[in-house]
Structure 1
């Protein structure tokens, strides 16, 4: 179908307590766009959820590292959103009160583990020195000792009275320092200003390096055991307090407040209204049945003042080419959707400019493997296949001509034909655009206006092009000129309309002729591709040994693929958007924008 289809209006009456559950289920289908009749805000009982969600966010900032990160699922409780979230917060406070001592202990263990790792690194770096760590740890009260950690690019200016040992590491510089208490205080302030850190000398340090390393390893093992036990207690508290369900409820309400901006609600019921791409309604009905929401779904006529969003209705083989149409907007309900035409023409233009069997197969193969990750890869798959086909037509494989006989001709053997064929194809392409404009006028109910103002353009265009082959065709152009001038005068019943009509005619015909000549670039790039391929082959032939020949052939083809895929893609896009679309396309339609699907709560990160 070469016309966008309006979405279908739907309404659902749902119990207020089940509204979030219903919205989540409908959004998960990916087929609804919400729109209210006249309401521009959420009902008060939904707005009151916002401050509660802020409290939830405050909890998250403090505890998210100790919360479950998977397996979240909302409850099936039928209750008011505010009450559900208030219950979530109350139970979270109970969990926090129980878990706080364990969390604080975990944080102390993590800090101690980090200090031990730091000392292990420093001790390894200064192995072999005679530094007496036990005496450093016992220094005071007149002398102070510390370890200073600074970024690699920091430029400190320490007091000359301080004694220090510099230790270089990959990301930081460390200084083991001894100074008077007053000087150490000033140096520490400087380190903090330089975004560094000050570490105390560990009291457990001994003069024997082996004893220090043994202590570090033993203490690290103890910390690991204690941390695992603490983490296990926290995990057990997740189950005891039902945190996964609590977070599922909170994340569902958070999603609703973030994505649903207006609802028509009363004291007991909420009316959810909008548009759907599920024209049969089966997916929406199944979603409601599955979620358990107390709701009634029905499909009345859309409100009189509502403008339906539009959907592309193209078959799967042409959908990648919607990329071009979407670049300029959504076709209006009375416009033609050229996607299926582009699915044929775009690969033909690309393949004509890039005709080579080997290079086309490489493009198609790469696009095949990337087709699920990148939408444009599915488009390039068709283009690569077309390039392979034109490679047979031109007799080119990996830039080499002569290995196979051309099914048509070699571009450099007949450059004039290579240039004229795309010009003729471009004329047919533009004619199709003019025909689409006529069809759109019929859909808008403006056929009389089109006959009066635009119908003469086609014979003028055909006549001028035909005159290149037969001078008699000029009479066709003359008849078209007469129609273009007479039509507005007849419709307005005024001869004064002839002059502006003549101006519009001259402008449009000149644009059409210039647009037609633009398609010569398709042939020009086909010749450029053949010329570059010929240059690569000449370099290969001049190479003194087979290994160098193979290397030059590979590098030459890699250069062609890298450079010309980009250049040919740009030229194809330019011809489609600026020569073809300007004939008929306005892009003033309203695109269907489905309500974002809720997060997969089983995988969502808090």
Structure 2
């Protein structure tokens, strides 16, 4: 589990007529990750060339786009129907697993697709789908176009009716606001409700008092206004209205305009026709939607096959396919391809190097750890050579969270919430269940940390003394069971000790990362690089010693003036590892220059001939004093900045564990104090304050603890051994 699954490279060579059969078998096996042949062309030395996209790929891509558009249209209609019908209750949304009906539809469609694929050839299937889909597309498009027309006409009619009613309240009709008048201009339209109060003053500033304004304030964002000005003042009035975002109403129908009763009758007619139209679309959806899904899946299969063929290498009669499969699946894949081609194929199996970045990585972790794979992938999918940190993340992540969120009661609530997400709230989907696993483990570790620090819903020995000293009240006897003696210590009265503990945790955490880096690279690194990795661990503990000495914890060399012991320990823990890292870096740079970058790539580092030795001699002869000076500066930067000072900063960064633990305890203690103050007023008020405070602390502190736990993993831990950026193993499926 600490390494991605071991992979094997597959090179499948078959005849052109067997290519489709091989694709189908690989799909059935479901264990082969296919790769573009272009990545391996150099190895074939011109014997094959990459395939080109054929007409089938263009045809299927265009047809699939049309089908997807129609599916989306009819699926949107399904969603509208669901919203118009009975809404799901909260109980159904939380506890009922989604997708039961969709799974049944998918199963029926899959069975029909399998039968159709078995009975008909590729060209016949595509021709049938295109013919069948063409008629369905025309029918749905016509109905959808008619629906849009009806909706537009209905919207215009409803707007016209609304304007008629507003004008009737003003005592005018539609003819008054339509057409040109001899001496006046009438401007009717909509403007933001917030600008309505400024309408009169803005017009008066532009045209004076020779204007009239009537307005109707609507409940929404837009209000209607009728403005009458002299014809000569029209331009000034329009400028004033433009500043207020006035949008003039345009009459939708030519004169003479219909009466209000006629508009109402037109609205009823349009609504009736719209219902009839939607009924036709719904009937078509019920009758043809599964057929449409079948067409979609058939075309997707053909498109996938066409896309895969582009990955092939080709010669006149031969096709070459490159891919990857887990080691334990090799025999099945070889046997399947051989059977499908009747033995007229060659399957070459090769073991790739762990450093090959082309190799996809497959993580094989127990199901309970899968949610933590998501945390790891937020940083980057593991490279094939990487250690898979999922298991260690699953162990360490909840522990760090629990130390930042230490409370028996709060942790128990998180644990119950996580268990509910996993086992009860099935309606929220698989992602919520995965989050529930993480929340459950974090809650359990919070309970343990709360027991160690003696906190239960914020009550502790320190909180008890705080209440007695600040409010002058004794903790009621009924609440004494909330107060527990810590199994270890309380953070607030022992801040210095807690800070030391957090730094120790940080050094152990980062030391684990550095150790994993040494182990992961031990077989492929030079002796110098292996020694550098070990000295980095030494330097990390030296950084811890320096911090403890700096803050005056445990070591009394400075206080007692024991200079010999101080110099001895400082040399052993701080100066010596820094000096060794400096020397190793300088030697590494000198070797790198002398070898012309040897070791940078797997291929070049292995080839060394006379020409390279000559070039090394020339480079050594040309190196000057400035070159050596730059190498020395580089060594200082690497030893001090890149290692020692970085370890110092990383170690102090784990102090956020202390900060979050103190913040959690202090914040809940504030609400406990407020609750006891409210006891003098009313017990109910005190209970409400305590419950609200508990809710605020749990939500706020849990989010903050989660964010900072992720941050410690990404920036302090992963950077020590984990690269990420790998290719995820994705088995080919049609």
Indicate how the Cα distance of structure 1 residues 326 and 390 shifts in structure 2: closer, same or farther if over 3 A, else same.
same
1:541 aligns with 2:676: yes
Task: Tell me which residue corresponds to 2:371.
Answer: 320
1:518-557 to 2 correspondence within 5 Å? Answer: 518-543=653-678, 544-545=680-681, 546-557=683-694
> How far apart, CA to CA, are the structure 2 residues paired with 1:18 and 1:152?
65
More helix per residue: 1 or 2? 2
Cα deviation per residue 1:136-176 (whole Å; 9 max; x = unaligned)? 9xx9xxxxxxxx99787899x9xxxxxxx999876888999
1:477 aligned residue? 572
Match of 1:338 in 2: 389
| Mapped contact 1:19–1:270 kept (Cα < 8 A) | no
Match runs of 1:251-400 below 5 Å: 251-254=300-303, 262-264=311-313, 271-276=320-325, 279-280=328-329, 300-302=348-350, 307-370=358-421, 372-374=430-432, 375-400=434-459
Q: Taking CA–CA contacts closer than 8 Å with sequence separation of 6 or more, which of the two structures ends up with the larger relative contact order?
A: 1
Q: Do the aligned residues in 2 keep the contact of 1:14 with 1:269 (CA within 8 Å)?
A: yes
TM-score of the superposition, structure 2-length normalised?
0.58
Give matches, 1:147-166, under 5 Å.
none
Give 3-state SS (helix, strand or coil) of 1:199's partner.
coil
Distance in 2, matches of 1:469 and 1:518, equals: 22
Contact 1:15-1:269 within 8 A present in 2 as well: yes
CA distance in 2 between counterparts of 1:540 and 1:68 reads 51
Q: Which residue of 2 aligns with 1:567?
A: 704
CA shift in 2, pair 1:34/1:27, >3 Å: farther
Q: 1:100: Cα distance to partner? A: 8.5
Quote the Cα distance in structure 1 between the aligned partners of 2:160 and 2:332: 62
For residues 75-224 of structure 1, the aligned pairs below 5 Å read 75-76=116-117, 79-80=121-122, 84-85=125-126, 88-93=129-134, 198-200=251-253, 209=261, 219=269, 223=273
Task: Look up the match of 1:183.
Answer: none
Contact kept? 1:14, 1:295, Cα under 8 Å: no
Distance change in 2, residues 1:319/1:276 (3 Å)? same
- CA displacement, residues 106-162 of structure 1 (integer Å, 9 cap, x when unaligned): 7777777767767777788889999999x99xx9xxxxxxxx99787899x9xxxxx
Note closer, same or farther for the CA distance 1:537–1:101 as it changes in structure 2 (3 Å cut). closer
Q: In 2, are the aligned partners of 1:29 and 1:597 still within 8 Å (CA)? A: yes
Per the alignment, residue 413 of structure 1 pairs with: 493
**SS of residue matched to 1:301:** strand
SS in structure 1 at match of 2:730: coil
SS in 2 for 1:274: strand
1:521-548 Cα shifts (integer Å, max 9, x gaps): 3234323322223222222222233122
From 426, 430, 447, the equivalent of 2:506 is 426
Question: Per-residue CA shift, 1:70-100, capped at 9, x if unaligned?
Answer: 969554165456x754554445456667888
The residue aligned with 1:180 is none
Residues 455, 392 of structure 1: CA spacing in aligned structure 2 closer, same or farther, 3 A cutoff? closer
Instruction: Tell me the TM-score normalised to structure 1 length.
Output: 0.69
Deviation at 1:386, TM superposition (A): 0.9
Q: Give the alignment partner of residue 54 of structure 2, picking from 40, 45, 53.
A: 45
Using a 3 Å threshold, how does the CA distance of structure 1 residues 195 and 556 change in structure 2: closer, same or farther? Answer: same
2:484 pairs with 1:440: no
Alpha-carbon displacement from aligned partner over 1:386-421 (angstroms, at most 9, x marks no partner): 112211222222222252332223223333332222
Show CA shifts across 1:483-512 (max 9, x none): 9749959999x9999998787555534443
Shift of 1:439: 0.7
Q: How many residues align?
A: 575
| Cα distance in 1 for residues equivalent to 2:511 and 2:77 | 58
- Cα distance, 1:519 vs. partner? 2.6
Distance 2:295 2:149 in 1: 28
